[in-house]
Structure 1
């Protein structure tokens, strides 16, 4: 009853006179069937129809799905969001989960004589409707038709048309398809099997329609062998009515991290189409604007409300609520109080038709799944950037990720981490901060991987500092556990929390500016706020995507990656001997031990990677033309040399501490050893990858007097990796594998010359560098190949000579 009342209220807005709005594009008239030529309404929508009223009414008649669309919804902007609701095991290699978004596009239902078309609308290219160029923009951005069907009948009051919408969901429509082109190729998908594809459900709400449909594809190589040569998946299509009253957009600035939408303005005074971005954010307007202007905290007209999923376990609900409402501190910095509210799911008595599918409700969904993740997606109006709705997804097995990480990274320092039954206070705090992180995404904030580098590394060993400032200035950084803290650093904080950058970013994006009548008028104020914080690393932003800035990396802590990784590895060395005791349980095997040990190896690999990024690294400080100083600066020579010294010691030396026989004797030792060898080889390949070498060559030319040259780096690595050769010592299996990797990586560049695979590399100094290094190494091997009595070592060095000869085309 509540839902129908709300539906009727929403419909009243559009139904005065039942007149269809004037079409945006006038078309030449064509003959159209008279309404009398169509079937009667009762002949199409029979007494057996299962109907649901809402934005427009859906009807199931047998296996057909009909939409009854009010004429006043023609030419209205609706957002069509396509998601995967159910997938087979192993689909996408574990990188695609239920809830993953496939596509998001604006559509309009348009009447074309006796047909109804669904058109895809773009707002990327814009122009003032009164401008002469407007017609050209329209003509050069003609909207495609996604779906078209005949009108089957009219409602009795002639206020709605009825169409058969089955074909949109039962046929393969690329724009809402759940299988990407790459996955089609990977699984050798042949075609859609219509006999096993069908519409499962259709639900209508006051502001959205939700359709679930099963799509079954014939495939020669499905993700799991037992899938009978098919891939079946459940898709969810959401059709959401966009607001009539458009929010004023806010221009994005790359110096402050926000999810954005690209735009092109053809009315720009620039001698080109002005490309710009707007940020994604909820619309918050103060109830009392005058009080807001006076600096008082004011509640918003429409606060952001998140409901907990009814499936959320009672014990975790307080932590989820705290994680949501933690953001009120940031919104207070923007002048709002009670801006975000967490609520328990309503009872049947409070709201008998409450549904997480209803776009009016944003929900933190608790999903019973083995997926170890949490995500914070949102639905955004592409016209203005207004976030309309959001569903945070917590997958149950994400608890496992944090349980393991806490043991691995804090077990050496914190007694509470030395168990797989992590105490509720600790695991609850971790869940709280994960939810806060995902809510941050849903508020419009992307990852800020640069934030953690604002704090001195050793400050993370201070109880006073970490309890006040946390591990990083932003909850949006990946800095989950304090691995820098050492045994004896009593009272330190181990779990991340919200920081000053988060308050700054929310104020910048959500502060209501009543005096500004356009996004352009806001820019001066927004720029002023950025310049006030310029030069303070606490307020800098970096997404970490470039891979070149060592200060902008996931899971990194502190401003000194070499020192932080040294602390982290020191802790791992203390954890490994205790893992059997900490993970064992009477009457059970060693699966948990194997899992934690495997993930410990990944942590070690991550610490090594943090250090590698300093070599040939470039610091990025985002600036505009009115700010002094450079945007890109190479990492100082001293730091790069320290990084290579660290790598020779911790990455390229056999990690005996990982080869704990008490531990390996209880799991698959050969797999563990192969993994360690793989980590070392991958670290070397990463260090010698082409983009890093190109940056070092460029830096040599631009900063000749204060640069760690690429030839110095290669010499230091070669002498480290082949230290046994230069010290007349025998090599073990790990070192032999690493030394072969060095030759293979260098040789792979020369192979590109023969195969003409990469002109960019062929024309660079990398070819000469690698040829020179191989020739130097060959000379050294030839001189010293018989300097040890260890026969396998001598064979190994002679084999390397043969490999180098093959790569360089040298006659033996």
Structure 2
């Protein structure tokens, strides 16, 4: 029994020791495994940057391994402000309704990279609200403008000396991140976009340069209503993301003044000691600083430290390169007015042998791209620093087919007085001159200048028929107007310049925006000098800036300071062109395609001339001024001018224009549609005159000018002119029948428009419909042909239905 007990004790002890040993061994093994696991879970730099990795060094190092992209972000760049620009690089036909092109910017935002624990945050920084960081209110501005985080990246590892972190950007750039999407919400709704298809979307490339990183993404979206290729149910786009390091020291901004045309950007400054925050606005311009400030201060011409250089796309046809270069270099003499020589120039890019690192995508280089596209356009976009307005780079885009538009317009607008335009094969030098001026116009945009549609109103209409005047002054005071051709000059006028050119306003605006003002520490100190420069030119129409809105002196495509006279000359020329159009086109080509195209554009040109006259009715001139200047800011167009304009329209638009209905053209290009097309053009004028905005201005004008053209008088005169046949036994043509019914329909819309706040408009509409009711009732009983009688009865029924709806 004792032996048995002893054995049991020994056995128990042995088992216990064995169990403990197993536990110890298991624990040791577990510790070893944990140690190994921990060791294996700590990624090393070499895990991500391997022998298979392609590395591109620049602003950040970009590492590409198979389908993965990594950014190596220096810690010294945390918190530094960068500009993230989302642009469309390539797009499907019809996207945006034809108003969006390759190169169009979709979004521009300031971003910063910041570390939070084990993540790197990409945050959007706004400059809509600002305050001096030394003031207490700065804290409130920060608290009430929290910066959104658009993406959070996990830190994968650090580089070998721990000065940079590695993050994976593959998912950020290959998925549908709305903050950087090339497809805005409005497009998603219009085209019924359901989702981004990841299987057909990928990162095309990421390239790093010293001051920027360029990402190209290929995205395919599932869409139930794509703008083109509808059977595919797909929208495929190529998007370009540019991330640009902003200057360490922002350029001193120049305060915007609406009396001189500049693109601008603004913010709300809470640093003001006034009783409200200040709305501040700065012009957009390049940073030009003289190499020799002392010589510049003495009034000598001085080269800038960094000139504006545009590189021509190597894809540009060789015969066109000199004209593009001239269009850029033409601005050199303009900058001399501001004290800078050789401030801007165009060059061919260096070859791969000369500079293997050169790339058009590099933000350090601005370019003029030649795009193989059927789009008829050219654009001059630029990227600017939102803190100061400094333009950082610009890529002007020229689309291949754009010159065709200029050839067509040249023939139509100048062919009557200009023998060399009467052909489909315009001489190379003249085509080149047109291209040169288009490039100069787009360069103007890239320099910060918007359209100045008032510049063409600066020159007297009859001066445009003078050879000596046009050769010296061109046809408008600036290249930034849409005054493309001299359509006023008549057959027999000698030595006329027909193509636009740079003018005196360009020198004035560049001097105002770019000249360095000495002994200045902050923008407000410049205002007195800037005001003085404007005051010196005040009252001279050559130096006036006008935005295209309700002002008839600031209309697109117009020339001369008397639109009625200019359009009279223009229509007179168009009649000659219309008569000769088959001889200048189809008779030469044995093909009707050009005749059809040019006839359609001839109608558009006629419609533009008409629009210039229409704008006078209800028009208000705008002369932007400061209180120290004399005179009113807004002046109503005189009653005499408005009545002259209406009478011109009654004769040249609302009467049937038989010269536009030449059967020798119509029966060659279309089997039908003549009446609908003409009514469409007539309706443009009709709806402009009977637009609630036009009538509103006329009604309000009566308050400040008792002798103005009253809205009720204008509508009465228009009704009498449109329905002039009702006072006679004349039959009404099909074109007039359509116009008269359209007039009734528009009056009906005015009568039933519940959104207007000016009830006089409905009163005028009702009064004229009542007058028309009586007029039609009498006319329907006169001796006219059957269709005219039917028309009068139908028109009367329309009026009755509007006045007394069942």
Calculate the TM-score normalised by the size of structure 2.
Answer: 0.94
Q: Is the 8 A contact 1:38 1:152 kept in 2?
A: no
Match of 1:735 in 2: 736
Per-residue deviation, 1:344? 1.3
Match of 2:664 in 1: 662
Cα-to-partner distance string for 1:755-786 (whole Å, 9 max, x where unaligned): x4x1x24x521000000000001111111212
SS of 2:596's partner is helix
Match of 2:745 in 1: 744
Select 1:794's aligned residue among 773, 789, 793: 789
* 1:521-600 → structure 2 map (5 Å cutoff): 521-544=525-548, 546=549, 548-584=550-586, 589-600=591-602
Per-residue deviation, 1:585? 6.6
Answering whether residue 247 of structure 2 is matched by residue 247 of structure 1, we say no
Per-residue deviation, 1:667? 0.3
Q: Is the 8 A contact 2:253 2:282 kept in 1?
A: yes
* 1:173-322 → structure 2 map (5 Å cutoff): 173-322=177-326
Match of 2:33 in 1: none
* 1:229-628 → structure 2 map (5 Å cutoff): 229-544=233-548, 546=549, 548-584=550-586, 589-628=591-630
Out of 666-675 and 325-334, give the one that drifted further.
Answer: 666-675
Q: In the aligned structure 2, how far is the partner of 1:47 from the partner of 1:191?
A: 37
Q: In the aligned structure 2, how far is the partner of 1:176 from the partner of 1:593?
A: 45
Cα-to-partner distance string for 1:716-762 (whole Å, 9 max, x where unaligned): 1111111111222111111001001100000112233xxx4x1x24x
Identify if the C-alpha distance between structure 1 residues 75 and 732 changes in structure 2 by more than 3 Å, giving closer, same or farther. same
Per-residue deviation, 1:672? 4.5
Per-residue deviation, 1:91? 1.6
Q: Is the 8 A contact 2:551 2:622 kept in 1?
A: yes
Q: Is the 8 A contact 2:261 2:509 kept in 1?
A: yes
Identify if the C-alpha distance between structure 1 residues 586 and 556 changes in structure 2 by more than 3 Å, giving closer, same or farther. closer
Q: In the aligned structure 2, how far is the partner of 1:130 from the partner of 1:88?
A: 50
Per-residue deviation, 1:265? 1.3
Q: Which aligned segments of 4 or more residues in structure 1 are displaced greater than 3 angstroms?
A: 33-38, 585-588
Q: In the aligned structure 2, how far is the partner of 1:606 from the partner of 1:323?
A: 27
Out of 187-196 and 41-50, give the one that drifted further.
Answer: 41-50
Q: In the aligned structure 2, how far is the partner of 1:635 from the partner of 1:735?
A: 29
Q: Is the 8 A contact 1:35 1:154 kept in 2?
A: no
Q: In the aligned structure 2, how far is the partner of 1:203 from the partner of 1:179?
A: 23
SS of 2:214's partner is strand
Match of 1:809 in 2: 804
Cα-to-partner distance string for 1:36-94 (whole Å, 9 max, x where unaligned): 95311111222222221111111222222111111111111110000001111222221
Q: Is the 8 A contact 1:598 1:672 kept in 2?
A: no
Q: In the aligned structure 1, how far is the partner of 2:719 from the partner of 2:783?
A: 19
Out of 684-693 and 86-95, give the one that drifted further.
Answer: 86-95
Match of 1:689 in 2: 691
Answering whether residue 719 of structure 2 is matched by residue 715 of structure 1, we say no
Structure 2 spans left out of the alignment, 5+ residues: 1-36
Q: In the aligned structure 1, how far is the partner of 2:648 from the partner of 2:157?
A: 75
Q: In the aligned structure 2, how far is the partner of 1:782 from the partner of 1:352?
A: 83
Match of 1:57 in 2: 61
Q: In the aligned structure 1, how far is the partner of 2:392 from the partner of 2:805?
A: 66
Out of 177-186 and 608-617, give the one that drifted further.
Answer: 177-186
Per-residue deviation, 1:469? 0.6
Q: In the aligned structure 2, how far is the partner of 1:592 from the partner of 1:397?
A: 15
Q: In the aligned structure 1, how far is the partner of 2:738 from the partner of 2:317?
A: 49
Q: Which has the larger radius of gyration?
A: 2
- Aligned CA-pair RMSD: 1.5
Q: In the aligned structure 1, how far is the partner of 2:779 from the partner of 2:676?
A: 29
Q: In the aligned structure 1, how far is the partner of 2:152 from the partner of 2:42?
A: 18
Answering whether residue 83 of structure 2 is matched by residue 79 of structure 1, we say yes
Identify if the C-alpha distance between structure 1 residues 500 and 593 changes in structure 2 by more than 3 Å, giving closer, same or farther. same
Answering whether residue 159 of structure 2 is matched by residue 164 of structure 1, we say no
Cα-to-partner distance string for 1:607-648 (whole Å, 9 max, x where unaligned): 111111100100000001211111001000000000000000
SS of 2:346's partner is strand
Per-residue deviation, 1:177? 1.4
Tell me the number of residue pairs that the alignment of Structure 1 and Structure 2 aligns: 770
Q: In the aligned structure 2, how far is the partner of 1:110 from the partner of 1:161?
A: 11
Q: In the aligned structure 1, how far is the partner of 2:709 from the partner of 2:588?
A: 54
Identify if the C-alpha distance between structure 1 residues 361 and 225 changes in structure 2 by more than 3 Å, giving closer, same or farther. closer
Out of 369-378 and 178-187, give the one that drifted further.
Answer: 178-187
Per-residue deviation, 1:190? 1.0
Q: Is the 8 A contact 1:109 1:119 kept in 2?
A: yes
SS of 1:579's partner is helix
